[in-house]
A and B are shown apart, each in its own frame.
Chain A
Amino acid sequence: NAGVTQTPKFRILKIGQSMTLQCTQDMNHNYMYWYRQDPGMGLKLIYYSVGAGITDKGEVPNGYNVSRSTTEDFPLRLELAAPSQTSVYFCASSYGGYGNQPQHFGDGTRLSIL
């Protein structure tokens, strides 16, 4: 089973460039999440979605945008990349969203902004 798949695995961007981080899941989960992980800081929620067509901001949404047109896909868009967005990005999904279901994570995208 593929689970949660993220692409690309690594990327280097120049300041001001834009890119889309792809995330797809094959578990038919309604809930999907984007986190960023900085060294020693744990995971911070950027955006989440409770179903196709419904998204909401998390703790650190500035500089990012998301969309959810299908149950399977939840891409994260970076506009005008800045060095502060250098991080490891994880996409996750869960069957439910009320804090009583485990989240399944993708392998991450390691992004450097130079």
Chain B
Amino acid sequence: QQPVQSPQAVILREGEDAVINCSSSKALYSVHWYRQKHGEAPVFLMILLKGGEQKGHEKISASFNEKKQQSSLYLTASQLSYSGTYFCGTVRGGGSQGNLIFGKGTKLSVKP
């Protein structure tokens, strides 16, 4: 089942903060976050695993509430380069092939 992302779109001024949410109706093993700029490939940002382990860029902050099957991506002091569409991908289960199911994305626009 496709995770639900919110908001669908957000516009920021440089230096402002934003939170992007990802919610699933199923128990999750991990949540992935990717950013895609227009016309380009998605780029990996972070993985949050059941049990608290995180992998990813040091400058990216995110949380994973296993009980609520929710994850949030925190973008602080936004820069123009943060603009793009952010996708969460969720993985159910663990210890077997865990394919990503992606949300529809959140479009972030950072203005000067």
User: In the complex, what distance in Å separates the CA atom of A58 from the CA atom of B91?
Assistant: 13
B55→A102 contact, CB < 8 A: yes
- Shortest CB–CB separation between residue B18 and chain A, in angstroms? 19
* Residues of chain B at interface, number, CB under 8 A: 29
Contact B41 A90 (CB under 8 A): yes
The reply on B52 being an interface residue by CB < 8 A is no
Complex interface: chain A residues within 8 A of B101 (CB): 45, 59
Is B96 in contact with A98, judged by CB distance below 8 angstroms?
A: yes
Find out whether the CB atom of B42 lies under 8 angstroms from the CB atom of A90.
Answer: yes
* B30 touching A102, Cβ below 8 Å: no
Q: Are A108 and B41 in contact (CB under 8 A)?
A: yes
Per DSSP, chain A at the interface is loop
Find chain A residues with CB under 8 A from B103 CB.
Answer: 42
- Structural contact, A99 and B30, CB atoms closer than 8 A: yes
**B31: nearest residue on chain A (CB-CB)?**
A99
- Complex Cα gap A113–B74 (Å): 39
Tell me which of A42, A48, A99, A104 contacts B91 (CB under 8 A).
A99
B positions within 8 Å CB-CB of A: 2, 29-30, 32, 40-44, 47, 49, 55-56, 87, 89, 91, 93-105
Q: Which A positions have Cβ atoms within 8 angstroms of B?
A: 33, 40-45, 48, 50, 56, 58-59, 90, 97-108
Q: List 14 A-B contacts (CB under 8 A).
A: A33-B99, A41-B104, A42-B87, A42-B103, A45-B101, A98-B95, A99-B30, A99-B91, A99-B93, A99-B100, A100-B30, A102-B56, A103-B32, A107-B41
